Amino acid sequence: MNEERLRTILHRVDNGILSQLARSVLAASPEIRVIKPPQVGLVMMQARETVENEPFNLGEVLVTECTVALGEATGWGCCLGDDPERAYHLAVLDLALHLGVGPVDGIRAALLAEEERILREDGAEFANIARSRVQFEALG
Amino acid sequence: MGYVPIKGGKAAIEAAEELVRYFRLRGGSAPLEVKQIRDQMRLAVDQVMGEGSLYAPFHAALALKQAEGDTIEASFLLRAYRSTLPRIGYSLVADTREMAVIRRISAAFKDIPGGQILGPTRDYSLRLLDFQLVEENPTHIKEFLREFASKAGRGEDDGKEEVLPSFPKVVDMLRAEGLLETPNKTEEAEEIIDITRQPLTFPAPRAARMQAMARGETGGLMALAYSSMRGYGNIHPTLGELRVGYVPLRVHHRTRPDEVVTVGRVLVTEAEVIARMDAGEDGIPRFTLGYGLCFGHNEIKAISMAVLDRTMRTGSKEAPAEDEEFVLYHIDGIEASGFTAHWKLPHYVTFQSVLDRLRRAQQVGRKEEGSQ
């Protein structure tokens, strides 16, 4: 499981599990400190239109970000909406995965399980949506 | 004559503000939870996010509660809130080909790869008031959700959708066949214009047009697009594809910029209209295209945007929808409502001046009439 895949899962990880994982990291590395407390801010979302294939600013998205550090290394968390706790926990996890501190194997296993859950739920959701797929029949 | 400062009205204003709260609450009904508005008034929430130019479903729902359902007022509140926050950066450019689709249709082709998926739509429903909703209670909701979940596994597609499909674009297929205009620009602009920080100038860069329309007011966009559909600069549009779904919001890591972080998923609506043929530089006729994309589920807005995108590229200004200055200056709901509302402010001095002029003109008129 590579780093990029882990990172892609993080934004969908359930709040309770994320909180558990972050607490396990903080228990193993209590010297992790907050260097930028959770703060609400904006990310300007850019998209590409298809007439000229030009990028443009679609609008801003409300996010919460947080930065933590261990020694010289930093971890950064950013999530949608006003959710300081989640941003903090994401920052802790980001740092743990970057430095390999804390119960890394347990974190990887938990994230893998979360990935399976997300895929299962997305699949089930899409199966519901796909029931509205049109089955055209030619008449005559 | 300059402005004349006046005093007074403080107590009346305070009482008026209290009355706003009183009129919202005097019915004695249970207070609306913001979460209820977010979940059950989702299309109003999406409209407010689009026009407020801020993707924040909870905050948009709160704004709707505060504004008693007035979407323009709620959008204003959201835009004002946005102006208090720091911008921490820009996303990577999202590609809607990656969209996790909840709805996807084409009016141009019956058979499109991946099929037509109606998703949550009222397009085929009779517009009859549903009086059963009057009695809707938590038990009904639970029953419905249980029944809905039990239907999974019964459909023809069930069991085949383990991996979320990504759908090829209809316009890509047309382009591959050489039937659709191709992008003219080869180089990408170094900086994407941002109309929240730079004023609109004309001719407006394409990115500015797109951004202005993406935060435009749904009704305003629709009225101008409708004027084109009725013949004032008609482009003969066909809806090539309409998509609603989630696209990932990705940013560069704050402290390790070479890494990309997915922050979350943003619901958007995208419309591509195939419009009348045009001969390109090589003299070969091809279909032309108009593009619309906005926050949330808002199909009327995305389609109107795509139509106006194409009308503004017609090259003439014979109809209002073809004139980009006319379109872009009149679609912003916050600006338009602000100017409209300003007429409620005291204009005592200016009106007095007009009144003086009228009285003088009447005196002159009467004298001239008497001397004849």
Mean pLDDT over B163-182 rounds to 87
Q: ipTM score of the complex?
A: 0.95
Q: Return residues 108-127 of A near B (CB < 8 Å).
A: 119, 122-124, 126-127
Rounded to an integer, what distance in angstroms lies between the CA atom of residue B92 and that of residue B262?
10
More confident call, B183 vs B49:
B49
Q: Supply A81's token pair.
A: 């909406």
pTM: 0.94
Mean pLDDT over B136-140 rounds to 95
Q: Are strands A55-70 and B54-55 parallel, antiparallel or unpaired?
A: parallel
B119 in reach of chain A (CB within 8 A): yes
Residue B280: which pLDDT band, with cuts at 50, 70 and 90? Answer: confident
Q: Flag if B189 and A127 touch (Cβ within 8 Å).
A: no
CB B237 within 8 A of CB B306: yes
DSSP string, B149-188: HHHTTTSSSTTS-SS---PPPHHHHHHHTT-B------S-
Quote the mean pLDDT of chain B. Answer: 92
Buried (b) or exposed (e) across B113-140, using 16+ Cβ within 10 A? eebbbebebeeeeeeeeeeeeeeeeeee
Name the least confident of A56-60, B140-144, B366-370.
Answer: B366-370
Q: Flag if B249 and A45 touch (Cβ within 8 Å).
A: yes
Q: Which helix (H) or strand (E) holds B224?
A: helix B218-229
Q: Can you give the pLDDT at residue B52?
A: 98
Which residues on chain B are in Cβ contact (under 8 Å) with A67? Answer: 254-255
Query: Which residue of chain B is at minimal alpha-carbon distance from A12?
Result: B264
- On the question of pLDDT at B188 being above 90, the answer is no
Per-residue pLDDT reduced to its tens digit, B310-333? 999 998 899 999 999 999 999 999
Closest to B249 (Cα-Cα) out of A65, A113, A39, A69: A65
Closest to B165 (Cα-Cα) out of B99, B103, B119, B93: B99
Per-residue pLDDT reduced to its tens digit, A45-91? 999 999 999 999 999 999 999 999 999 999 999 999 999 999 999 99
Q: Return residues 300-319 of B near A (CB < 8 Å).
A: 309, 313
Q: Are strands A33-48 and B54-55 parallel, antiparallel or unpaired?
A: unpaired
B290 in reach of chain A (CB within 8 A): yes
Q: Can you give the pLDDT at residue A84?
A: 98
Q: Can you give the pLDDT at residue B240?
A: 96
B59 in reach of chain A (CB within 8 A): yes
Q: Flag if B253 and A76 touch (Cβ within 8 Å).
A: yes
Q: Can you give the pLDDT at residue B4?
A: 66
- On the question of pLDDT at B202 being above 70, the answer is yes
More confident call, B151 vs B156:
B151
Long-range contacts, stretch B28-33, CB < 8 angstroms, 24+ apart: B32/B65
Rounded to an integer, what distance in angstroms lies between the CA atom of residue A70 and that of residue A81?
26
CB A70 within 8 A of CB A95: yes
Rounded to an integer, what distance in angstroms lies between the CA atom of residue B323 and that of residue B328?
9
Rounded to an integer, what distance in angstroms lies between the CA atom of residue B223 and that of residue B232?
12
Query: Which residue of chain A is at minimal alpha-carbon distance from B160?
Result: A127
Closest to A102 (Cα-Cα) out of A111, A93, A114: A93
